[in-house]
Chains A and B, each alone.
Chain A
């Protein structure tokens, strides 16, 4: 700092036209950030009227002893000289002001240390980033002061650092706030130069007579740097003093702290990552508000502001300013924290008296004025962000938009028609029952049962009920059921049908981040859906994986939009968007809910992304939050019981794992995992025997090779590496998943599915392929310009377009190969519609009483029997619990109910057993249903019929239903108590409330604007 000061003194221009006013002492406060000080000092020393003393207050603590220097100025009058001009001295002192908490505090400390001479009658206060905009600033200020000696203080007009645009010209009182009535940033055309008496002025550049200073007892620290000028001026005004602004005195103020160029500690902030000062600003204004209100009213005001903060938070969220919404919600509690100091400050303000109403009216801004000011501000904002386009350019953009939309619609429609046509026999009967396949149990649940299953950590359909965290995908099913009006079975069909066009649109959106070529984007959408078909997701009705395919690309697309890394057609640079971040967060919820194992690579990818993106890093880290909250019970359970093997549940999902498709845990390599995903058997012979499989593998390898080429492209280095990291993480996940046992199978364990990891990898590779396709932005170009250059440009464009067409054809061939493989793969238990189920008598009984259960048996052979606890008419899908399967395979599934039911099933298979029926009655079962099967089923029915306590009610082609006729107490063992405990558990309530509020907040931010580009914070 001394160096800067010395340089400023040395660089001072020698001039004879400068005068010195020894009754004014300039006080300049300086902190760690020295970027603006040289300009300020130069401007101060270039004034036509120099202050007699210049005190530089060092707030950093680097100055321990005050330093003093001086220079002399000889003032030559303009007229003929009457006598020898005498040199006048200007004292420059560098004093310490360490430990000051605000500008006012720094001034006070400086005055303590500076020991000003008694001739000083006024202070000229300057921030280190507020420079006098011209040479006559102090002259105008002192002139105004001398012309109106009764004024309490004189303020200056505040401009921006360039000196051209206005910040404020004094402010007026409005309610318990201050309004400047000046549009921040409008050019200075002397439109406000008529102002004189105002309510408050800014401290920067203020000429403060020492009388006023001492009368007010100094500048109060309480309101902080941003608002202490308003507080000081308020006390002055309330005490009857006059506050005037001198519009001719122009101060160019950088407002470094306010505009987040400086941290709270006073250090400089790098360009490009401005911090948000909203918290300090809101707190400061709140203090002003409370000190303006009588202390007796404070409790009521606090309650009112508490309610208001909620409403304001919602409004700010809708306005895409989430950090300010958070600040708004914190404000009432900050007010409570600052209560003691606030009381003292209020007393000081109250001591100054009260302004009479007529006087206040003169210094207030009326409602009409404020409304007018708001309109003008809005108009100013509107015109700032607009880029003017010619009508031809606009027409071009509009045409591009329509072509794009048409291409997307055609792709989506093609996928929808394709999938519906492939599965028409199944879908035709969809209205009568539920979708079912070997890995997807059918469902006959009602909406109420689904909601209970999704939110209560209790699985009611296993044994007599087991405590287990709910499978997160049930929330997705719940949302889909809301769309179908509460019909859960119809929701399954809806998801099946709608997944194809939505997945195509998702992939189309993600491809659009990297390339604007319509054909490449459509080909990417088709390839993505073809991959879904090739992985057998439609054949086996793997709805959780279809959810992943639907939402994962869209989520990543919005992530890129959120950080502003995308190609655009409009002639503006892509801006980061908080709304896109919120949409991305919401889009991440379904895939993570469907396949919780995706959370692991996503966390890694996001950490890598934080290193790669240029801006909005904090936003990036907030994106996985709703997804993490949604799967919180699963995560907590996995971590808490990890030593008992509960972590395996992360690798399972709601479909029932099959040994034939997922195999046993084995150490696979990536090509093996790909073969397993495509449904091809192990080894080279299986590959060679099926041409479609060979073609699919070749297509996948080709895609990987083209994606590798993306690494070498200049200009997309960050994007290519980010997507390759995603792909590698997906591959790692696939290889990890196939090594983990997630469910017990027929003989041994079943490994986790490789599909989620491979889908993530395929998405990453697809994006890199789109990167290779290049930007392909067709800008609007006016005709005209040199001919040769135009031909060259056209030639280049044609070559690029031809290469793009080759790429598109390759992608379509790959898509065709995958679809072919998907059609020929033989999956046991393909999708069908199940309209059977329990007979109507049984379902009616269950409908009447929630706790009714039916014990279902199916004889697989003469010594093996399958049993199930039915609480709906089929299945049920909502009782398929990956947590329970993980516990089974880890050997810790020891629920009593299932063990007893297993014994009952076995004994009924072998002999008639009255005790077994009595056990069933005790456990709360009202009937037994035997599914019709082979001959072994006859023996089972004979045994059940022969046992006491059963009564055959219905016997049809699907099976036989027996009612259990044991009456009497069914005490306690039927699991209702456990269900009630789980329902009332405080953790559940806390989880639901937290997740609900977070999702609601994100939804508010994600709701699309109707119009203008707002300033996003």
Chain B
């Protein structure tokens, strides 16, 4: 009996304990400690930026056709062609040097390598060097300490001649290798030679695809020479565009590299019989946009606008002068076809060409000036993209004029800084620009840096003279700015077993 009572009591007690436990579990919300670990989450964020910058600086302008035939009057000659180059590295730079293209990649002290120097004890100065070795192209290399605005490398090369078939000035900035490049070049009519030079600075060979669009028809042109170019490691290859697609008034060239980034320039030389009508080196264009400013024209230039819109566009062109905008007409751009628009002479006070379109277009301007005896020289005026900080290296022996154009309709101000030949800062000037206004000024020194905190000003440097004006030879070239902004991004990297499924 007692055992039975004990059993009943034990059974009830255990049963009640179980029921109580169940009730506690059901109600136990918001009770009990919670593990607070791991607030940071998976993956790790890294600040990444480029630590090494590389660009290709072209050699002196070679003759288009230097075969010897006929007597000396008919032979092409370069005359007194002279070459000057300036390389500079600005910002938090560790080391910078320029090596010839065909030297081995690793040798910092290879044959012909030029080191950029900075004035001793100068922390805010620039690494600068100038060179006159125009026989081959150079690769400019800069090792950076840290990324940021105001850090970068710039370079410019200029070839000028007073006599010979290359009379005039042709200049180009150093080109950063990329997997794709776009050009708008002057036409391939009789007497015009366009040579596409592809430089592969890496130790891997690559194959380059080239497509052309012209003014004569919509769509890609069928190239007589074939559209693929193979470039070996650390070497160059050339394609004659005027042979590939002749008879066009202007060409839109797209270059795409398969394996490695390549530096592409187009060397164009125009002759009218035996009279040189100018030479120029074209560098790759910026991305298409719907509002573009092309600073660098001056009164008296004959300006021709080259435009390409893939799906067609309606563009409004105007001149930016020191006193505001002057309309230059509305134009309809055909789809997938280059349009060559003759804008006539630049009016008084004109500093820049402004193009506004209803969709993204690529534009370039050709500004031509006349010299004596029918000689002409032209410059390819690139569309300049406003950037927070940009620079242009100023080679020796030519006169440099800075053109600033405000692309917005608000007042803005920029700081123009020039550096001397030893890298020391020469002068820093504040320039105010009104809405849609433009300014021009001469600059001297080795490098000019424009800081534009509002990202409103498009600018360029126009190279003239260099002794050519006295000899009544027209010489003209426009250099677009290189942005001094090494991108620093935060990239989030996560390790996961699900990457390949």
Contacts and interface: CB of A to CB of B under 8 A. Distances in A.
A745 B41 contact: yes
B257 to A, nearest CB: 9
B497 A656 contact: yes
A891 B260 contact: no
Interface in A883-927: 888-891, 898-899, 901-903, 905-907, 909-915
Given A667-B29, A717-B11, A739-B34, 4 more contacts: A748-B38, A906-B492, A910-B50, A946-B202
Interface in B148-202: 177, 179, 202
Contacts of B5: none
Interface string A655-677: 01000000001111111100000
Interface stretch (A165-173, A589-597, A864-872): A864-872
A929 B495 CA distance: 14
A911 to B, nearest CB: 5
B37 A889 contact: yes
Contacts of A711: 15, 18-19
Contact of B35 (A672, A724, A739): A739
Interface stretch (B20-28, B265-273, B275-283, B349-357): B20-28
B259 A952 contact: yes
A948 B261 CA distance: 11
B15 A721 contact: yes
B470 interface: no
A903 B259 CA distance: 24
Contacts of B500: 836-838, 856, 868, 870, 873-875, 929, 931, 959
Interface string B55-95: 00000000000000000000000000000000000000000
B171 to A, nearest CB: 27
Given A441-B498, A863-B490, A868-B495, A902 B33 contact: no
Interface of B, secondary structure class, is loop
Nearest to A834: B501
Contact of A906 (B18, B204, B491): B491
A942 interface: yes
B331 interface: no
Identify which of B36, B489, B501 gathers the most chain A CB atoms within 10 Å of its CB.
Answer: B501
A728 B22 contact: yes
22 contacts: A708-B22, A739-B34, A741-B36, A741-B38, A749-B41, A863-B489, A865-B491, A866-B493, A868-B497, A868-B499, A876-B497, A891-B38, A902-B493, A902-B495, A906-B46, A906-B493, A907-B48, A910-B491, A911-B49, A912-B261, A913-B50, A948-B202
A915 B48 CA distance: 13
A998 interface: no
Contact of A670 (B14, B28, B35, B44): B28
Interface string B460-501: 000000000000000000000000000101111111111111
Interface in A925-940: 929, 931
A749 B25 contact: no
B63 to A, nearest CB: 33
A746 B26 CA distance: 30
A694 interface: no
B497 A735 contact: no
Contacts of B492: 863-865, 906
A465 interface: no
Contacts of B179: 942, 945-946
Interface in B293-324: none
A712 B15 contact: yes
Given A648-B37, A912-B261, A946-B179, A867 B494 contact: yes
Contacts of B32: 667, 735, 739
B203 interface: yes
Contacts of B490: 863
Contacts of B496: 656, 866-868
Interface of B: 7, 11, 14-15, 18-19, 21-22, 25-46, 48-52, 177, 179, 202-204, 259-261, 487, 489-501
A911 B54 CA distance: 13
Nearest to B262: A946
B46 A907 contact: yes
Contact of B259 (A863, A931, A945): A945
Interface string A591-621: 0000000000000000000000000000000
Interface string A816-850: 00000000000000000010111000000000000
A327 interface: no
Contact of A744 (B40, B49, B203, B261): B40
Contacts of A739: 32-35
A867 B495 contact: yes
B50 to A, nearest CB: 5
Given A732-B25, A857-B499, A866-B496, A749 B46 contact: no
A909 B35 contact: no
A241 B19 CA distance: 75
A902 B45 CA distance: 9
Given A669-B29, A670-B28, A728-B25, A744 B42 contact: yes
A914 B18 CA distance: 66
A60 interface: no
B499 A905 contact: no
A751 B32 CA distance: 15
B308 to A, nearest CB: 23
Interface string A672-708: 1000000000000000000000000000000010001
B25 A875 contact: no
Given A745-B42, A946-B260, A669 B26 contact: yes
A749 B38 contact: yes
B294 to A, nearest CB: 29
B49 A867 contact: no
A749 B39 contact: yes
Nearest to A907: B48
Interface string A722-753: 00110110011001000111011111110100
A880 interface: yes
A849 B116 CA distance: 47
A749 B42 CA distance: 8
Given A748-B39, A874-B500, A931-B500, A899 B44 contact: yes
B497 A667 contact: no
Contacts of B501: 436, 441-442, 834, 836-837, 874-875
A704 B32 CA distance: 24
Given A865-B491, A946-B179, A667 B26 contact: no
Contact of A741 (B15, B25, B35, B46): B35
A747 B45 CA distance: 13
Contacts of B31: 667
A950 B203 CA distance: 10
Nearest to A744: B42
Contacts of A858: 499
A58 interface: no
B491 A909 contact: yes
A160 interface: no
Identify which of B26, B46, B493 gathers the most chain A CB atoms within 10 Å of its CB.
Answer: B493
A449 interface: no
B35 A902 contact: no
A731 B35 contact: no
A795 B45 CA distance: 76
Contacts of B38: 741, 743-745, 748-749, 888-891
Given A712-B15, A731-B22, A910 B41 contact: no
A456 B101 CA distance: 53
A740 B497 CA distance: 23
Contacts of B50: 910-911, 913
